[in-house]
Structure formats: C-alpha cells, structure tokens
Amino acid sequence: MNALLLWTALFASPLLELTQGREQILLDTRTALSDLGWTKSQGSEWMEVTGDDENQNERRMLFVCQITQPNQNNWLRTQYIRVDGARRIYVEVQFTMRSCEDVPNVATCKETFNLYYYETDRDEATSTFPPWGEGAYVKVDTIAADQRFRPGSDKVVNFERRNIGPISKNGIYLAIQDTGACVAIMHVKVYYKYCGETLKNLASFSRTISGPQVTDLVKTRGSCVRNAITEDGQYPIYHCGGIGNWTVPTGTCFCTAGYEPNYSRTQCNACARNRYKSVVKNVACRRCPAYSSSSNRGATVCDCMNGYFRAHEDTADQPCTKPPTKVVNLYAAVNQSTSVTLKWERPLNEGGRTDLTYSIECFQCQPGFVDCTPCTERADYEPQKTGLVATHVTVKNLRLFAFYKFKVIATNGVTDIAAASGQQLYNFALVNVERNQAAPSPVLNVRSSEIDATSVLIRWDAPTLINGHILDYEVTAQHSKTRMSSFKTNRTSNRYWRIVGLEPSNDYLIKVRARTMAGFGPYSVPIKVKTLNKSTTTVAINSTAGSGPDYLLFVAIGGGILFVVAIVIVIVIFRRRRRRTVKSKKLKSDKSMYNGVSVTFNSSFQSNHKTYIDPTTYEDPQRAVSEFTKEIDATYIKIEQVIGAGEFGEVCRGRLQLPNKPESDVAIKTLKTGYSTQQKLDFLGEASIMGQFDHPNVIRLEGVVTKSRPLMIITEFMENGSLDAFLRNHDNGFTVIQLVGILRNIAAGMKYLSDMGYVHRDLAARNILVNAQLICKVSDFGMSRVLEEDSDAAYTARCGKIPIRWTAPEAFTYRKFTSASDVWSYGIVMWEVMSYGERPYWGMSNRDVMNAVETGYRLPAPMDCPQVQHKLMLDCWKKDRNQRPKFGQIVSSLDKMLRDPSQLKAKANEEGSRPVVPLVTSNGDNEPRHTELDVWLERRGFSQFKDNFIRNGCNCVEQIQQLTHSDLDRMGITSAEDQDVLLSAIQS
C-alpha cells in the first residue's frame, strides 16, 4: 500500500475535542511547533509526519501500518510529563483506524493498540530504560476503534479518554504499543482537573487539585475576604469534586460591623450614608433609626440629632429619644386627717420611650404658699416616692392645718443624659395642698356575735373624735391567710352590720372605719372571726329548734355517709395504683438491653389515624409541599459534614437551631445544581410524603428549605445509619429477643403506614434507619431513585425500577403493589435481620430469583433462627396475597414472642442455610430437582465447587465454560491443581 496515500486516508478527518471541568494541560501535541521528539523502541515502525487539521493548520502526527509484516511490536514513548502534584490524570487520544476487512496481502491485522504508563520522580528514561514491555510499564487499557474506514469510504475519527491514578510520583511517561494495526494518532492530550480560585460564603478558596479518586471530595479551607471574620475560629470549607467542580460549601465568614455582604456573598461592602450595621452578622445594613443619621460610609452606629439622645443601655438599633414633657391635670384630693392623694395624667409627649417614671418632691410653705422649703417631717408615700409607674400617690402622716406644695417630675431613660448636656428641661408640675380639715378618729370596741357557717354579726362604738357629723361606717372582711381584699365591704349608718356570704370553716379579719365630710378616718384594730362548719351549723339550728334524739339521729346518718365515702376512695386509689404498676411492668417488658442501651419497642404509641394523600394528585405540587411540610430559614441550619451522596445530591450531617428551641442534630439532603424539573418534583415529593407521617418508628421530617438554594430536606439524624450495615457491623452481637424487638419496631412503623393507606414499595433493611437508642425507623419514601449501585440490583419494568429480591411475585410480574406486597418485603427484612444483614438469595441473579420465587422456592431459615420466626417469614411469603398476615397481626405475633420468650427456643432446621438452586418439582411439592448444572458437576466429580459457582452467579454450564484462571481465583478456588483439573474438564 502506498504510504502517502495511507497517511492521507488516516488523517483526512475532522478533530474532536471533549472537555469537562477545569483542566490543567500537561501535554498537547497540537501545540507542538516542531518534532514531537518521542522515543521509539528499537526497530519500531512508528513515523512522525506533518499534516493539516480541519482548519488547514499544520499539526505533528504519528502513524504506523505494518499489516503486511507478521509479529509486530512497535513501541512509542512520550517525553517526561510532570504532573504538578496531581494524583489522577486524564489522557485523550484521537485516532483513525483502517478496517482489517478487504486488506490484501495481510500478514497480521488488528484494530486495537495498547496504552501504558510508567511512574517516576525524575526524567530518567533512555532508549532502553525502562525496558520496552508490560513488565516495566503499567497497562492502562487496550484501545479499540469504534469506527473504522475501508478504501473509498468516509474517514472517521475515534476519540477515547482514559484516566490514570492514583499517582504517587512526580511525573509519568506515556507509552503506546502497536501489535499489528493500521492506525494514525492525530492528537494526544494529557491533563488533570482542578477547582479554580473562587469566592464563596465571604471566603476565598485557592486553586485545588481534584482527588485521586473520581468520587473523592478534597476539603479546602477558605480565607475570609476583607472586612470579614470567622466565628469561633470555624473557617468555611469547600470541597473540590473529582471533575474539577466546587461543591458542598460549609460554614461562612461574617461581615464586620459597618459592612454588609453583597448579593453573591463574595465581598463585604461598606454601609452607605445614613445606613449602619452594628453587629458581626451577614445581614444587610439598615436605615438609621428615627432622629439619627450617619454622614460617613461604614457606620456602626448612627449619631443622634440635636435634642435627641440614647440611654446607656440602648442599642444602636433603637431610635434616639428625648426627655418627657411635664405631667398634665395634676390635682390633690384631701381624704383623711393626715394624708393627701395626688393624681395626674401622663405627659403629652413622652419622648418616644416606654420607660416613663415619676418622682415626688414635697415642700412645706407659709400661709399663702410662700417661703416654701423642703419637707422635714417623715411622710409615707404609697406606693413609693420615686420610680413611680402609676399616675397617683398617697402621702400620709402630714400635719394638720399646714400648707404644702408638691412637685411631680416625669423622667425617662435619657432625662439625666439630656440634663448633663446642658439642655433645659420642662418635665415637672406643681400643686398646692392646704391641710385645714380633719377626719374622725378610729371607731372603738369592735366585737362579733351570732356566728354561723356563712355570716357573722358585727357591732362597734362611735369614735371619740368625730370632727363633724358621721355620714356612715365602712365594714370590711378579709381572709386572714391570703390577706386578699374581700368582696364583703359594706356601708351602713348604724353601728352594727351582719356580714353574709362567708365561707364555712374560714378565718376572717374584720375592721371598721367612720366617714365625715372630711373623709374617712383610720380603720379600727382588726378582729379575728372563724366561721363554723356546715355540720356544726346544722346541729346549732336543730338544737335550738328540736330535741336531743333528732340530733343523735343526724349525727349517726352523717357518720355512716362519711364511712361509705372513705371506703369508696380507698378502693379507687388501690385500683389506680394497681393499673399503674401493671402498666409500668408492661413498659419494662417492652425494653431489652444491648451494651447498656435499651432497644425500645414503642408498644404504647397511639396513632391519630388519618388518610395518606398522594402529592402527585395535586395540580400544583408546591401546594402539597406547603400543606404537608414546614419551611425552615436556611440561616437556622449549619452543615457540618458530608456523610454520603444520594440520587439528588449530597447527604450531610448538620445542626438545626430554631428560635426558642434547643439545637439538635439533623440529616440534610440537598438537591444538586443543574437539576431538572422532574428531579425537583421527585425531591420535594418525598418531603411531602414524609411530612404526613407522625410515628416513633417512621423517620421524622423537620422541614424543608425551598426559598433559597440549594433546596434541602431536613430530617432527624439517625446516629447508627442504615439497619443492614449496622447489623453487619455487629454480627452476632444481639440476643434473639433484641432482634425480635428490632423487627417489632419496623412492623409497628409499617402498620402505621398501612393504616394510613400508604404503600412503601421499597421496604428493605437498607431503608430502615437506627438511632443512638437503637430505635428503628422506616425511611426512604421515593421509588424514582437507583436502588443500588450495581446494575443487577433492580429489574427494569416499563414504569420504573423494582427491587426484585424484596418484591412480591405479583408486584414484579403485574406491578400490583399493595400493603400485602409490603408484607412480603417485610418477610425479607425479617430474614435480613435474623441473618445480620446478609444479602437475600446470595449470588443468584435477579432473573434466577424471579424464576425461583415463581416456582415455589423460599429462603431457608438463617443460622440459629427460631422456628416461630421462620414460620412467620413463610407466612409473609405466601403466593396468594390474601393469605398473608396483616401488619397488625405481625405486631401481635411479635408481641407474643416478646412476652413469652420460651417459644423462641426451638430453632429451625439449619440444613440448607444457603440455597443451591431453586427447589421445584413438576407436581408442586418441595422436593429438590437436579438441574443440568448438578448433573454436569457430579459426572466430573466437582460437586464440592457448586457453592463457589452459585455464589458468583454461575448457574449454568455455559457460564462455567467461559471461566479462566483469574476467574477461579476470584471465586475462591485458589488451588492450582483444582484450577488445572477444572479448566481441562471445561475445555474437553
């Protein structure tokens, strides 16, 4: 074949370029200005030529085509490539490949070439070192052409990308081996991915190289931007993903006082004039409060205008205020011989404050209210002289026939500050009082008589000093213990009064005072009166009106009634105590201990039944979110740690601090950026489902974040994670009664969901969460996710994915999901729990599981599984869904096991704890049937390897015939002799 024509055919196709994320290019042959200078092995037929790309630009390219010569081994190696600290690099190759069909005079023809690399800390390669061969170089992959060309056909370019890592040296050499292909290497590009410098959460993050694994998140600590600081030394964290993308920011810096964050939270800007910020928080600057202003940018507090002030305890957020004006309508009421009451109304202008108080100053004057001086006698002020809140005060112990002037001063929190600044105050009012009247003296000889259960007759003598004509008397009765004023206050012109409406068997203090035109005189000395009880009153009446025998009869009847009442009270108290004792014992029996921690069964929970509403029935899905969930402000949430990745985005652990509530641990599901509308609906739909549930064995939704990004679902945090992993980590670490308690938790949660009309469809141990108290809760209420990482995990039906190993036959055959199909899944969960998280059906494929279940096969009892437990599993796996137990019946069965543990002692038959093949017969009984695989193994004496094949998915002879030495190693058949015998038999 003409070499020039071949070269033209190989290179005459357009280039293809594909990049993702931020890339740092380490090698790019398109930028070469002269020979590439790559090293060839001795005798290598690789050729370097110059050709034109699709834009008619000259490029250096490499090709080889020795298909007419046998035994080709052409090696080509790049120059030393420094990786700049990267631990994973990417190699992109563009090439064209000649088809081996219709090639004349061919000696060897392949449509692939091999890619290798060699790690080293320095540039040390020569023409002979490292040795040309797979022993020295690490093979990356065999590169095959997806598209090849024939003579006369259009030339197409292949594009392949491979990644190499983790890399532990400073650099690498790439090597290409040709073993007999007609290939042209048009372009080689080597690069690594990194996250570029960025600003986030008021912090700057430096350039960060992605991790050695594609799934790694490299944690990078940020530095606060100018005018921002951290809180308690907790710096913001950003994670660099494997494709060179920043993700999962946690923590933030805070703008200092006088500065506010911009919209994107990348810098702190100074507050504008007449705006301020006094706290270190990420909040916007606020307009200056009333009667204040700021003339400079970056103000932390606004200055008060002239005549306005702030009190020392006022914050910068409060408006400036002024002292109050004087009180209005001040007047004095002279109502006793030695006292005066001052009353007034609040000032017309209180200065804009709420801490208004009053103080009183007393002045004694000469007749005509002249030559006033401060009062020297010790007067009593009720309630007090200074710090008054009420608008009245009574001044006692004043002299008679004297002249007084009283000043009432109104003050607030800035009065003293205003006075100190030299401002003149007008905050007081004056009133004149002339003490030229006299009230009567106290009444005398107050006494009681005719006392019964509800009334008493009071008599008294007139005062010695009347000072005029007595208008009337006031009689007041007060309860002697509480000292509260009684409603029994009356006036009379007589010197006696019967006080009625009193309570039996109570002590009262009774006092009397007289009133003249000058006002009330002082009260008399109180007397103490005790009312009689009702029985005593009855006796007194009867003893006055009747004879002795009647009295004895009433006493006897009353005593008998009291005796009967006492007996009834004793019986009621005894029964209540007995009920509490039984309930306490029942609650104690519903707990089991694991390493000092109780496994709680929540047997006493009473659900408020309601019907589940499918969020997809809402025309507007956002309405379901608002109806069934609670919106949480994102500022109340602090993400602390990334603990996993879900279908929608990252799953994090964090803290939730709601106002007036203690801080709590929460799990946070986030919706990744770039989500589709359907992904958002599925994400929020799961929250709308969870928000309808309220049960101690169902995961609790704390709320959602939908008004900011990223969207979040906040749930309670379950410290011990998923049940399957938890059981595997504590293999054989529980008693049987504890395992039954775990199953009881799950059954109670499913009973609650079933009663609400909700069908879970994905009940499995991986979807049960365990908290620190070992309480198990049903979770994961969305079926749109990928159920497991491996492609064999779910059988794909027309309407979605189904977890075959946990699914009832009518569900994976006819997509008939009901509470009965959840019962089938619960039986599989029982098997998982009793086997400590073992995989159901072990290594059988999904298709084999479906066939086996349809033909009658059921999982055998796990090791040490109680017979009654396996019987309950088999009841859950009955083919007729109407014959399966309801969840309420399952809860009752488990309760009986917990209350009578003796029935758990009988163990199920341990034979066949691992299935070998689906066990079926033509007549439908449970006798085992030999398969073609059984016969083939038995004839060759290989029956001992049967379990190895079954566990690794080899269920037929055709699969075994494809095995190699390395395959047998992975299956656990490591003996070289056994491998040779098996492979010899397979080949024969």
Q: Which residues are catalytic?
A: 762
**Residue 750, number of CB atoms within 10 A of its CB:** 27
Which DSSP string corresponds to 260-283?
A: EE-TTSS-EEEPPTTEE--SSSS-
- Residue 140 marked ligand-binding: no
Q: What interhelical angle do 887-899 and 736-755 show, nearest 10? A: 150
Name the E strands within 620-679: 637-645, 650-656, 664-670
Give residue for tokens 């080293």: 120
Q: What interhelical angle do 867-876 and 887-899 show, nearest 10? A: 180
Sign of CA dihedral 360, 361, 366, 369: negative
- Residue 167 marked ligand-binding: no
Instruction: Copy the structure tokens of residue 435.
Output: 């003490």
Contacts of 746 (CB under 8 A, 6+ apart): 697, 768, 776, 778, 826, 829
Straight-line distance from the first to the last Cα atom of the chain, in angstroms, rounded to the nearest whole number? 43
- Residue 172 marked ligand-binding: no
- Residue 643 marked ligand-binding: yes
Contacts of 548 (CB under 8 A, 6+ apart): none
CB of 457 within 8 A of CB of 496? Answer: yes
Rg (CA), the chain: 47
Is-cis flag, bond preceding 710, omega within 30?
yes
Spatial distance between the Cα atoms of 900 and 865, rounded to a whole number of angstroms: 16
- Comparing C-alpha atoms, which of 161, 126, 121, 170 is closest to residue 140? 161
- Residue 646 marked ligand-binding: yes
- Comparing C-alpha atoms, which of 64, 72, 177 is closest to residue 116? 177
Residue 574: its H or E element = helix 548-589
Query: HSE of 273 in the Cβ direction (CA atoms, 13 Å)?
Result: 2
- Residue 649 marked ligand-binding: yes
CB of 620 within 8 A of CB of 684? Answer: no
Is-cis flag, bond preceding 901, omega within 30?
no
Output phi, psi for 592, to 5 deg: -135, 155
Q: How far is CA 649 from CA 194, 233, 642, 768, in A?
A: 20, 28, 11, 20
Name the E strands within 306-347: 328-336, 339-345
CB of 763 within 8 A of CB of 751? Answer: no
CB of 316 within 8 A of CB of 279? Answer: no
- Comparing C-alpha atoms, which of 47, 52, 79 is closest to residue 66? 47
- Residue 193 marked ligand-binding: no
Provide the 8-state DSSP code for 453: S
CB of 68 within 8 A of CB of 105? Answer: yes
Provide the 8-state DSSP code for 321: B
Spatial distance between the Cα atoms of 409 and 419, rounded to a whole number of angstroms: 14
Q: What does the CA dihedral 437, 440, 441, 443 come to, rounded to 10 degrees?
A: -170
Instruction: Copy the structure tokens of residue 386.
Output: 């200074």
- Residue 674 marked ligand-binding: no
One-letter amino acid at 478 equals Q
Spatial distance between the Cα atoms of 572 and 506, rounded to a whole number of angstroms: 30
CB of 183 within 8 A of CB of 94? Answer: no
User: 133 in the Ramachandran plot: left (φ > 0), alpha (ψ -120 to 50) or beta?
Assistant: left
- Residue 648 marked ligand-binding: yes
The three-class DSSP label of residue 72 is coil
Query: HSE of 63 in the Cβ direction (CA atoms, 13 Å)?
Result: 26
**Residue 553, number of CB atoms within 10 A of its CB:** 12
- Residue 788 marked ligand-binding: no
**Residue 494, number of CB atoms within 10 A of its CB:** 9
Would you list which residues are annotated within the binding site? 643-651, 669
Annotated binding site for ATP: 643-651, 669
